[in-house]
Chain A
Amino acid sequence: MSGDRKSPLDGNLVKVVFPLLVILAPLGLSVIGAVSAGDPGAEEPFLELPPEPNEGCVRDAEFMRFHHWELLREVRDQVVRGGGRHEISLDRCRSCHPSRERFCSRCHEAVSLQPDCFGCHYYPADPAAAVDHARAGR
């Protein structure tokens, strides 16, 4: 009796394992590919760091990494609702992080964030544009 009954595994092999392979194979291949290609960040840091790290930044790097947006939001509300509009400017951020593309955008893109600060606030993606702006005498 047990002889003519097929093992449940035999039927499922085709039904389950094969499709599973088809699904998982590309994933596995991409992981292997990524690992074998090496970490591109090894030569160049993920973010363009300032020449003097944390010299004169408003907060330490750890705080800025995780809370800069809260700080910006709070200061924004203070400045916009409380007045004193000239007291703060992104210029101060830009003096250490001249390239928005190689600093802000790297993380924002990696985590699929699209903060729309820069539609209205000047922070050029490319520092060359900022130099032009400074040269133009504002």
Chain B
Amino acid sequence: MDRRKFLKTGGRFLAATPFACDLLVASVASASGPGAGRWGMVIDLRRCPEGCDACVKACRRENNVAEHGDPRWDVHWIRQVEIRPHGQEDAPTRTVPLLCNHCERPPCAQVCPVRATYQRDDGIVIVDHHRCIGCRYCLIACPYNARFFNYRENEAWPNKDYPKRSHGVAESCHLCAHRLDQGRLPACMEACRDAGAGAIVVGDLDNPESEISRLIAANSVKRIREDLGTGPKVHYIGL
């Protein structure tokens, strides 16, 4: 068989290989293809009640985020962090929910050697845990400490409809991509609304009519460490 013939046969073989997955996956292409928008978040800190952690709890429950009761192993997708102005040791602290900023130019995705971390068309930065080799480069690269590593196996599995992660892979908030793809709200936003605070709003930054765009236009918003050039997409009001 000459080279030409070999390639021809091989090509035919390859063309026949992909099993038409229409039966299993009804409308994958339309779910997050271009035009699905560019997801972002606004957190209105003025509406965050003192000591509330509804979003943190809801996230843990929805996404089976591991909590081992030991800060060395605990994983957080969204967490309450105490901050105070830089260099003022005695200034009063305030609590701010911190999560992955779904950067426009995500350092975590840039350093991932196997492209397990990638950015979807709609701007969500997400980990393909099947592909993650556990090198932890992304933990180092993320300037927001938003990445966490599963150092051990997590047995708790509150939401059986969503996979958990085995030990050895990195993870962070994926803006409840599985819910957004279904047209549902992220768990944190839902819980925040249910708690009566309504501080978290997730929406399409590209659509000027969306609630989030109007909030950003009407208020003075801050993003964390904008100077780094990562283009964080979590906007804080009242920071």
Q: In the bound complex, what is the Cα–Cα distance between A92 and B30 (angstroms)?
A: 22
- Taking a contact as CB atoms under 8 Å apart, the answer to whether A75 and B25 are in contact is yes
- Taking a contact as CB atoms under 8 Å apart, the answer to whether A120 and B129 are in contact is yes
Majority secondary structure of chain B interface residues (helix, strand, loop or mixed): loop
- Give the residue name and chain of the B residue nearest to A73 (CB): B130
- Taking a contact as CB atoms under 8 Å apart, the answer to whether B28 and A78 are in contact is yes
Q: How far is the CB of A83 from chain B (nearest CB, A)?
A: 3
Given contacts A87-B31, A138-B159, contact A76 B25 (CB under 8 A): no
Q: Which of B1-9, B82-90, B174-182, B224-232 contacts A (4 or more CB under 8 A)?
A: B174-182
- Taking a contact as CB atoms under 8 Å apart, the answer to whether A74 and B18 are in contact is yes
For chain A, give the interface size range: 20 to 34
- Give the residue name and chain of the A residue nearest to B165 (CB): A120
Contact of B24 among A75, A86, A119 (CB under 8 A): A75
Chain A residues within an 8 Å CB radius of B194 = none
**Which B residues between 44 and 80 are near A, CB-CB below 8 angstroms?**
none
Given contacts A84-B25, A86-B181, A138-B161, contact A120 B32 (CB under 8 A): no
Q: How far is the CB of A64 from chain B (nearest CB, A)?
A: 11
Chain B residues within an 8 Å CB radius of A83 = 28, 31-33, 36, 120-122, 177, 181
- Taking a contact as CB atoms under 8 Å apart, the answer to whether B182 and A120 are in contact is no
Q: How far is the CB of B106 from chain A (nearest CB, A)?
A: 16
Chain B residues within an 8 Å CB radius of A87 = 24-28, 31
Q: In the bound complex, what is the Cα–Cα distance between A10 and B29 (angstroms)?
A: 77
- Give the residue name and chain of the A residue nearest to B26 (CB): A87
- Give the residue name and chain of the B residue nearest to A67 (CB): B19
Given contacts A83-B120, A84-B25, A87-B28, contact A122 B130 (CB under 8 A): no
- B residues near A (Cβ < 8 Å) are 18-19, 21, 23-33, 36, 118, 120-122, 128-130, 153, 157, 159-161, 163-166, 177-178, 181-182
A-B contact pairs, 14 of them (CB 8 A): A70-B19, A74-B19, A75-B25, A78-B28, A80-B130, A81-B118, A81-B128, A83-B177, A84-B28, A84-B29, A84-B32, A120-B129, A120-B163, A122-B157
- A residues near B (Cβ < 8 Å) are 58-59, 67, 70-71, 74-76, 78-89, 92, 116, 119-122, 133, 138
